[in-house]
A and B are shown apart, each in its own frame.
Chain A
């Protein structure tokens, strides 16, 4: 689950990580009054969307950049009035962009050094790991590629937590003088506590700035949360912003479908995550492009299958649908009944290719055949993918 920058900033501040002064505004007037309350003579106004690359982005109406540096509260108001209610397009949002409903107004910081700091989970050791580098403000992947020695990875013992000596080691690596380790160490402990307490999947502070005055502050941060642990974090769940999500993803979540919207034109409905992934691979091997990843799970009900169908049919990009089911616990005849019922309530708009295999497959195929619905059967995996690609292509011409 993703949250806005201002929400991440508030969580960090509450955990004890220093952040620049500022607050979120939902109107130009509010933005101006926040600026007036800040004791500084230079302000940053940042559009709040769930995407990176804001500084280099542009708005739907041509207004440049989602991050502005201005001198007066009046200018803050002007910038905010351009941003709020507008749509920001960056290299991460796709061409349709993301709506801006709020801006973060903050003091601008005199930066002496920009560092990188993150806490993530190391899969192979099964431990949290602190990732630190003096080369902040750029993507860490780029640093890892060019100069891996500029990155420190400090593995944390899951039973003991972050130890003081480890915080000192990371701080020294980040270039803090041995007489000035208190502030960075305190910040590291606070960030680690946040990571553990909120079941984060990542806490990424980039850049972590050292100001000309010698303070350490988190200038920008990205927090990620473990979806499996949200049940014990109502306060995090409440931070969700539906306006930033793909509407197809929202509809899928409502019906507990495991769905990811993609760019192609072949809708997929599959049981099992691995098989769903392999089905996307098959479609591309056959020369097509999938419109989505959709795993209906092992125990899909008739309601879920109907909802899945409606979702695929409702996507204007979808030109053909490929249903790929290996009936294990979910029996093929039950699935076939569900599909027939779904097609009766929502008549098929595009060709549907069905590949069934496994438990009660003969009974399932019989139900589909006798339904009189225009469903194209396929037996082999590659055959199914090729039929779907051909059907989508024909429709497109």
Chain B
């Protein structure tokens, strides 16, 4: 009851690593699409289009890797992920609704940016996953 039956765990590790790799690739492709036009090729349309296409392709790969990762989880792990995803979605909607009016009502002086919301959602997601794993320990 050892090495042969440990395959599912190994498979999940591989799927998690695969997701991490695709996430890293998407991050690099996003950096290239954002900074490349300004710093590397002086806004040449064809290169910018190629960078954006690469970013979208990496994003698609990340999404597929995420689906494979979720399929590799067992039912409790999926429940934890589902709870975290739901909470993040609702928190994201609430935060976006408030955040976008902060500048209009002059509570902040800077322009609200989508990246701030993405960071807030990522933190929410991590906290909820951590809470889920603690809850079922």
* Binding partners A and B: no
